[in-house]
Structure 1
């Protein structure tokens, strides 16, 4: 196996994979350098490209002395020194310079293979991405097949550039980058583009080319990470661009538990390593939102907290769900929270009826200064009424997408799903009229929004997932539903609790699993909601249920309300989605119940009940 890195030329020694015969022929190189000082080119030939490159950069070559440092932008390998030096002479000629100009014009246009730049307002996020080309040689003559190999590399790069161009377009164009397989018409190549969704704004794209030459099987693979600035902004700057690091196989939580006296953690959001923690307590005089700085995940630091006014000199009794949004154009950050005044009626308990109030379900908090958060708006959901425990009117779930806030409630006498416009003035959410809501007659326990669709996890026994078309907020319609059945395809009376959307796949976590036939986790194709593609029973304590899911790059991060198995990672990348296997190797036991979980760039954050409201899970080289 030969590793070639276009644009990022570290000039590492060539290595061969076990099972392949090493190339014993001495190679001679014709190369082109570009001076970073005067931007001019230099063409030469050598037997040892690494040594020659170092000599140029160290000013040891008279013809280039004083022009360094240099960047290697092109080279060719030949088995004959004479051929290499003849080629050098040609590249220095008029026709050779024109050839080189055309070749470099094509290759140098492949910007982004070594660096992914996301520039948003005052923040410049640089993601170093190495594009690796793997060329598998079946013992062929390098001289004979060089042209074929270069053609294949060019074709693979070209296809990847087409995908990259889409990533710079609209969100819809970015979302259209999906896995494909094709045979090049009239040619010898079979192409396979594999796409793994890291998040709503980032994808890992791998282009595989396979061909037969003289009865020898060969292949080339190019991989890169593509991001969409438009999708990043639509998420409220709340979107991971880094794939999970391999050391997450050994998840570790080594910091001291964060304990907030007498309250219970309910909800969590993370924005660039700043944690926003929503809590609930029967004492309305306690703070409801707590903020922590987790730039050092081993020692998170408390920044500030705030108690939310519910109105009429009363305080909010709990933030049940929240989302943090960075309004970079305004230089502001806000938390939008779904909350309740009165005792939160959890569907897993039998709390007293009539305590939740039908007002103040949507709260807006300015968190631009994490040390001094303050409430800027308290909004009641129109048309919502009722009393617990049949029709509790408090806020249950919330999501942000592209300038709009989506709020869900418990089943109420009225609409449970509402849309607010917060694009220009987040301190003044505007309900999109009576048609900006819809009644589904179920508890809405989780909301995810992607493009023109909203995905709801509900308490229905036959519609645990409801998909809404929200392309026209004034005319919301139900686009489809999914019934989460038992393993024997019989009806199940479980509630949908948590959702994650990755590509066209819906990942659903449910609660109240009470038998071996019950499933905790479902994989569903949104284009065919009739049956699950795969499902899994995690063998938790009966009635525990899943409290949070996040799927990234083929891995599902799952938190549960089972103290014996509070967190785990599952591989959901198999081409057969019914094959779901545990990926992590180190069990974590908090001895508390996670209420929810979020993932941000390789780190997991869980919010838990009393005695350990916050836990941060990080990669570790070994089990701890």
Structure 2
């Protein structure tokens, strides 16, 4: 799940420290020169190539500033074709990209040469849309992940369903949703600032607040965190918890609650939620109609206006006709992980000014049909790549890397079997060259396959692309149910016991 912030002043300062913002994004340039050691490098040619590479890198920065999400790169030539200059853009986080420009030339047929310049840039516009949810730390060092040992901090037996992590002036906090058990709470706020000493600081539920809570996303504004949750009753389809940390740690955070119903799906169980650019997107279970609902009351995708985040108002909906198990929003599109056997990934245009606004993917062709009939359960999007996790099958592909540059012609880049037959990917997050997955599988092999937490290399230029880098077995006694990632640390929600496991990178398998 994604955690978002709208504390512009504070967050912008953070980003200025963490990134070089677009106008200042020409950060330290890495220059690499390759060549044949048997020949002397012509200093003049090298100097000219460096000039052209720097010229196109600066041009790439300008184009990315005008169209950060749409800019993919370009190729030029110089000096009557002597030099070929190629510029590319690769996503690092939701609002930062790596620009790379390479100028190549051949002084002789046997001496191919090139100069490469790199720069990390960030989009202020996308940073604000994400509500400051742009992790400055690129994941690394995950060859042998380990987790902190902590006693249970929520009610024993309250199965956690999802987790979202927030960091503000008062510390770092995990917001956890759970199934309903007796008269106990279903919403929990845990102080995880000290990962060796977790502290439950607030909770809500029970006492007439009925039903399970199934998913969560958050928005931070000053000392208030708005937690958008979905649930399994008509009164909890979308519940907004306004958690006020003003008096913390002197006294516990206070929780205000506002519930919203889905007018075109009054009986649908909420399954997924996502906040982006002052909107809340809610996905429900599949609603057959008739006989279980009235006509036009079986829409599974809903959009709420969260301009007033403490009380979102329903805006529009679409009949997807399938379970919406996960949602990711990027620019003008909502990416949906669904239960359709002929289109496990569906894209919906959410720009009200577009001709295909809220058109069904069966009409637009904005979908991808994966191998087999296993449902898609998790989705993450970065640049022109979508990462799709699924229910595991026998000898099927359970993790897909997809090229979504052409929305009506999505293609597979690569895919792999996760060895989680019968289980599913319950959480997925991407940071730089790594993909972090939590699954409901409880048994990891000695080679690192399967299990509750897996880390994959997703660097497409690497010889180890889509291979496991976490090769030390990591097994839980409970079943994972969700994932959030922040500051190179993974937070895994679990059913039964240990509602939140905090997992950190380690280079070796030994303690």
What TM-score, normalized to structure 2?
0.82
Aligned mate of 2:314, from 431, 434, 440:
431
Aligned twin of 1:101: none
Looking at structure 1, the residues matched to 217 and 80 of structure 2 have their Cα atoms a distance apart, in angstroms, of: 52
**Residue 306 of structure 1 is aligned with which of 157, 182, 203?**
203
Deviations 1:139-181 (A, max 9, x none): 5667x61x43333333323322233334544xxx111232444
Is residue 215 of structure 2 the alignment partner of residue 321 of structure 1?
A: yes
- Runs of 4+ off more than 6 Å: none
Which residue in 2 is equivalent to 1:244? 139
Segments of 5+ residues of structure 1 without an aligned counterpart are 1-117, 341-356, 387-392, 487-491
Structure 1 match to 2:190: 292
Instruction: Pick which of 248-257 and 412-421 moved more.
Output: 248-257
- Number of the residue aligned with 1:615: 501
Distance 1:493 1:138, change over 3 A: closer
Q: What's the CA shift for 1:451? A: 0.9
Determine which structure has greater relative contact order: mean sequence separation of CA pairs < 8 Å that are 6+ residues apart, divided by chain length: 2
Q: Hey, what's the Cα distance between the residues in 2 that align with 1:177 and 1:185?
A: 25
| Offset of residue 417 of structure 1 | 0.9
Looking at structure 2, the residues matched to 183 and 577 of structure 1 have their Cα atoms a distance apart, in angstroms, of: 29
Match of 1:477 in 2: 359
What's the CA shift for 1:524?
2.4
Which of 467, 481, 488 is matched with 1:581 structurally?
Answer: 467
Alpha-carbon contact 2:56-2:85 (below 8 Å) kept? no
Where does the alignment leave 5 or more consecutive residues of structure 2 unmatched? 1-5, 20-26, 288-292, 444-450
The answer to whether the 8 A contact 1:308-1:375 is kept is: no
Match of 1:25 in 2: none
| 1:179-198 to 2 correspondences below 5 Å | 179-184=73-78, 186-198=80-92
Supply the RMSD in Å over aligned alpha carbons.
2.8
**How many angstroms apart in 2 are the aligned matches of 1:605 and 1:195?**
29
Change (3 A) 1:293 1:192: farther
| Counterpart contact for 1:167–1:227, Cα < 8 Å | no
1:418 aligns with one of 302, 310, 313: 302
Secondary structure in 1 matching 2:58: helix
Alignment of 1:430-579 (within 5 A): 430-432=313-315, 436-472=316-352, 475-478=357-360, 479-482=364-367, 484-486=369-371, 492-511=372-391, 513-516=392-395, 518-526=396-404, 527=406, 529=409, 532-540=412-420, 542-564=421-443, 565-574=451-460
| Aligned residues between the structures | 460
Q: Is the 8 A contact 1:568 1:587 kept in 2?
A: no
1:236 shift after superposition:
2.0
Give, in whole Å, the separation in 1 of the partners of 2:505 and 2:384. 28
What is the distance in 2 between the residues matched to 1:319 and 1:200? 27
Aligned counterpart, 1:89: none
Inter-partner Cα distance in structure 1 for 2:73 and 2:163: 33
Checking the alignment, whether the CA contact within 8 Å between 1:236 and 1:400 is kept in structure 2 is: no
Structure 2 counterpart of 1:37: none
Structure 1 residues 244 and 233, CA gap change in structure 2 (3 angstroms): same
SS of 2:112 mapped into structure 1 = strand
> Paired residue for 1:396?
271
Q: Can you list the C-alpha shifts for 1:46-93, whole angstroms capped at 9, x where unaligned?
A: xxxxxxxxxxxxxxxxxxxxxxxxxxxxxxxxxxxxxxxxxxxxxxxx
1:249–1:584 CA contact under 8 A, matched in 2: yes
- C-alpha distance in 2, partners of 1:251/1:549? 16
Using the alignment, how far apart are the partners of 1:229 and 1:221 within structure 2?
Answer: 26
Shift of 1:579: 5.8
Checking the alignment, whether the CA contact within 8 Å between 1:232 and 1:239 is kept in structure 2 is: yes
Q: Which moved more, 1:602-611 or 1:216-225?
A: 216-225
Checking the alignment, whether the CA contact within 8 Å between 1:189 and 1:210 is kept in structure 2 is: yes
Query: Which residue of structure 1 lines up, in the alignment, with residue 253 of structure 2?
Result: 372
The answer to whether the 8 A contact 1:418-1:431 is kept is yes
Q: Distance in 2 between matches of 1:213 and 1:529?
A: 40
2 CA distance for matches of 1:217 and 1:484?
41
In 2, Cα distance between equivalents of 1:161 and 1:258: 52
Is 1:279 aligned to 2:178, yes or no?
yes
Call closer, same or farther: CA 1:240–1:473 in 2, change over 3 Å. farther
Alignment map for 1:204-243 (pairs within 5 Å): 204-213=98-107, 216-243=111-138
Contact 2:457/2:464 (<8 A) preserved: no
Q: Matched residues in 1 for 2:9 and 2:340: separation?
A: 43
CA distance in 1, matches of 2:353, 2:409: 23
Deviation at 1:316, TM superposition (A): 3.8
Structure 2 residue 8 is the aligned partner of structure 1 residue 133: no
Q: CA deviation at 1:381?
A: 1.0
Deviation at 1:473, TM superposition (A): 8.4
**Aligned partners of 1:394, 1:150: CA distance in 2, in Å?**
63
Contact 2:60/2:87 (<8 A) preserved: no
- CA–CA separation in structure 2 for the residues paired with 1:577 and 1:398: 36
> How far has the Cα of 1:498 moved from its partner?
0.7
Higher helix share: 1
